[in-house]
């Protein structure tokens, strides 16, 4: 099946610094990538959708200047959490899809802890 990787799997950073999370589709070209955030005991919340070569579409309530998303190639999307605060601590998961109306394949997630 399709494989999606994320790096890093865990990151601890200090408040005020920026953190970049990479999402890669390893064996297929992802025309669309999604970024989700999961809060404890809650569902996956879609943050943004990114199509290769175009600007990401952010969900309501997600600050695009805080969560910078770049989808520079068909196999790589990055999420940069800028000026991180403790409330940004969460589990961030990306997913990728190679064509419309098909399943999304999820990465293993990144645990971000902001101290």
| Binding stretches for other proteins (CB under 8 A) | 1, 4, 6, 32, 34, 41-46, 49, 57, 91, 93-95, 100-101, 103-109, 111
Closer to other proteins at the Cβ: 76 or 82?
A: 76
Closer to other proteins at the Cβ: 34 or 67?
A: 34
Instruction: Report the nearest approach of other proteins to the CB of residue 55 (Å).
Output: 12
Closer to other proteins at the Cβ: 82 or 104?
A: 104
No. of H helices and E strands in the chain? 0, 11
Burial (CB < 10 A; 0-12, 13-18, 19+), residue 107, is: buried
CB 65 within 8 A of CB 56: no
């Amino acid at each position: 099946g399709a494989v999606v990787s994320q790096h890093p799997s865990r990151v601890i950073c200090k408040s005020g610094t920026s953190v970049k999370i990479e999402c890669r589709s390893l064996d297929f070209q992802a025309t669309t990538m999604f970024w989700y955030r999961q809060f404890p005991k809650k569902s996956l919340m879609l943050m943004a959708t990114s199509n290769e070569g175009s600007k990401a579409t952010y969900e309501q309530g997600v600050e695009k200047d805080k969560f910078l998303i770049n989808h520079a190639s068909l196999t790589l999307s990055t999420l940069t959490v800028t000026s991180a605060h403790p409330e940004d601590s969460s589990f961030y998961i990306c997913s990728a899809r190679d064509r419309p109306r098909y399943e999304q394949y999820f990465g293993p997630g990144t645990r971000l802890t902001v101290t």
